[in-house]
Structure formats: C-alpha cells, structure tokens
Amino acid sequence: MHHIQQKIDTNTCVIVSQLVSHFVKVNCINPTFIINHAEIMSPLAKSHRSEPGLSEPFNLFVNRRELCDAYTELNDHAAQREHFAEQLKDRQLGDDEAMVLDESFITALEYGLPPTGGLGTGIDRLTMWLTDSQNVKEVILFPAMRA
C-alpha cells in the first residue's frame, strides 16, 4: 500500500511541477525564490524542518530563467537509501528521470560525509541566461548530458 501511495504522490508532484512551470515560472520576472518543494521531487535534499512531506530546496528565477538551484544535501545514509530505493522503483516503472541506487554515495554517507550544500549557479546557467536559452540542456557542452 505504501508504494501505491508513494506513486500517487509522485504523479501528483509531477503534475504540480508542470503546472508551476507553465503558470508560475513564466511570470517570475523580478527575482523570485521558489521554496519548499515536495520531498519526493528532491531525493537528495534534507527534509523540511517543520513540514512533513516537504524539503527545503530553493530555486531563484530572474526574467523567467532559473539562475540557481540549491538545497542542503541529505546526509542520513538510511534515509538516503530509502529515497534511492523509491526512485529505483519509479525508474523500473519507466521514469527516466528517477535516480538509481548509488551504493558508493550511501557508503560515503555511512562513513560520515559532512553536511554539504551547494549553489547551483554554474557557467551553464549563466550561459543560459546570457544567451536567452529556455532550457539548460541547450547550453550544455557535453552531448551525452543533453538527453
């Protein structure tokens, strides 16, 4: 039953994500932060501190373009294994964007990977913004990553 509920949540999150892309992101002309994503959409992010089912990543949009994608990385190996296992189930059901079970990453977490985080504003997003590209895949130099 849990997997059925998880799948319903996944489908709902995908629909909400598409609606946000269609109706919200296109209106983010002034600097706008989109926060508190559904936990299932951010399998590498820590869970929200006070809202069950949410995580705390944020995206910065300016002039309808995503300039930053950031989050505090999940460093609990047991929770990360569960997230990867759910993603693997989705992948086996045909979701190409779902992650695989990364044993070496889980091992690093077990040995005590320190809290990590990052700011997803790299040369690719800056190039995307400067060239007025709609998608980061349009500016990636490595063809294998464009798929």
Distance CA 144, CA 139 (A): 12
> Is residue 31 over pLDDT 90?
yes
| CA pair distance 39, 58, nearest whole angstrom | 12
2-121, what's its fold?
BirA Bifunctional Protein; domain 2 (3.30.930)
From the CA atom positions of the chain, what is the Rg in Å?
Answer: 16
40 within 8 A of 6, measured Cβ to Cβ: yes
C-alpha distance across the termini of the chain, in Å: 33
Interval 16-27: pLDDT, tens: 878 888 898 889
Provide φ and ψ at 58, rounded to 5°.
Answer: -145, 150
Residue 50: C-alpha distances to residues 45, 63, 69, 144 (Å): 14, 31, 21, 39
Give mean pLDDT, residues 41-46. 83
What is the predicted pLDDT for the residue at 132?
A: 84
What are the domain boundaries of the chain?
A: 2-121
Residues of the chain with pLDDT > 90: what percent? 7
pTM higher than the cut 0.85: no
Predicted pLDDT of residue 115: 65
